[in-house]
């Protein structure tokens, strides 16, 4: 629990991934990415319930084995490339009658985060909950720096942001990017503002080596290189499956 309210860890997964086909079932260490995410949520002392939302029968069966499946498969209109994650979560909240609670979004595409990251994020939010409505994970971003990004307009190169692009890197402002590992907010914020990032969103900084986010095949190659070269060690989780009736 967090501030006396339940915490639901929502894990949204689709079967129709295009960048990396079936990426949610990619095996890293002893578990698939989906299983790793389920186990991470269950290992967190702040999380009361993990719930997997999916349109995919195979992933639904995996979730059922761990006792974390949604009441039913996700409706098809929320399983397209255009479907918004917040709409998926809101639909699941309605199905499960989730009211006054905190919602933790755990995407399976951040496989190198660790339980200490999640615990520290929860503690950071708990300490500042009176002045914040959400917290999200970020990592430093400098390649390419936004001030260096260009566009082509009427056949000519123009700064995308309309700034001087030839400034030396050391003089550019520090910027950050979402790494996709964690989003935490209150259920009321989602209902009223339809976003995981309201104005009063706190940053939670994570190191680059644990911020790989699997969007495309190059991200997968980077992940495999980090693991194979032992630049980062995979965190494994021990979790017994619920006894079947």
- pLDDT tens column, 137-158: 999 998 889 999 999 999 999 9
| Whether pLDDT at 185 is above 50 | yes
Asked if residue 159 is part of any domain, the answer here is no
| Whether pLDDT at 166 is above 60 | yes
β-bridge partners, 9: 50, 104
pLDDT band at 21 (very low <50, low <70, confident <90, very high): confident
Could you give the 3-state DSSP secondary structure of residue 161?
Answer: coil
C-beta of residue 136 within 8 angstroms of C-beta of residue 182: yes
Asked if residue 91 is part of any domain, the answer here is yes
Domain holding 185: CATH number?
A: 3.90.550.10
Can you read off the two tokens belonging to residue 189?
């914020």
Asked if residue 27 is part of any domain, the answer here is yes
The span from the CA of 222 to the CA of 113, in Å, is 15
- Residue 67: per-residue pLDDT: 95
Cis check: omega of the bond before 49, within 30 degrees of 0: no
Can you read off the two tokens belonging to residue 90?
């809101």
| Whether pLDDT at 232 is above 50 | yes
Report the residue count for the chain.
245
How many independent structural domains does the chain possess?
Answer: 1
Around 203, how many Cα atoms within 13 Å sit in the side-chain half-sphere? 11
Asked if residue 126 is part of any domain, the answer here is yes
pTM of the predicted model as reported, rounded to 2 decimal places: 0.92
Q: Is 152 exposed, middle or buried (0-12, 13-18, 19+ CB in 10 A)?
A: exposed
Q: What is the mean pLDDT of residues 187-209?
A: 96
Asked if residue 202 is part of any domain, the answer here is yes
- Which contiguous run of DSSP H or E holds residue 58? helix 57-65
pLDDT band at 245 (very low <50, low <70, confident <90, very high): very low
Pairing of strands 102-105, 7-13: parallel
Which residues form the domain of 204?
Answer: 7-140+177-228
Asked if residue 168 is part of any domain, the answer here is no
**Residue 166 vs residues 144, 151, 156, 162, 175: alpha-carbon distances, Å:** 13, 15, 16, 12, 17
Could you read off the pLDDT of 80-90 as tens digits, one per residue? Answer: 888 999 999 99
Asked if residue 196 is part of any domain, the answer here is yes
Asked if residue 150 is part of any domain, the answer here is no
């Amino acid at each position: 629990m967090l501030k006396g309210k339940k915490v639901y860890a929502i894990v949204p997964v689709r079967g129709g991934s295009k960048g990396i086909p079936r990426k949610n079932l990619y095996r890293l260490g002893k578990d698939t990415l989906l299983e790793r995410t389920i186990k991470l949520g269950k290992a967190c002392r702040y999380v009361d319930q993990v719930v997997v939302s999916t349109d995919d029968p195979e992933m639904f069966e995996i979730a059922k084995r761990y006792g974390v499946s949604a009441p039913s498969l996700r409706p098809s209109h929320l399983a397209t490339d255009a479907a918004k994650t917040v709409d998926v979560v809101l639909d699941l909240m309605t199905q499960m009658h989730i009211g006054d609670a905190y919602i933790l979004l755990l995407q399976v595409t951040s496989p190198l985060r660790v339980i200490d990251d999640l615990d520290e994020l929860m503690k950071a939010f708990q300490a500042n909950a009176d002045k914040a409505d959400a917290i999200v994970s970020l990592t430093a971003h400098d390649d390419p720096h936004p001030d260096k990004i260009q566009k082509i307009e009427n056949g000519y190169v123009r700064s995308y942001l309309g700034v001087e692009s030839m400034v030396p890197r050391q003089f550019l402002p520090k910027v950050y990017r979402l790494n996709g590992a964690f989003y935490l907010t209150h259920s009321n914020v989602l209902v009223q503002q339809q976003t995981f990032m309201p104005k009063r969103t706190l940053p939670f900084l994570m190191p680059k080596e644990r911020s790989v986010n699997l969007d495309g095949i190059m991200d997968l190659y980077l992940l495999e290189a980090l693991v194979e070269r032992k630049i980062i060690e995979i965190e494994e989780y021990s979790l017994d499956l619920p006894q079947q009736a």
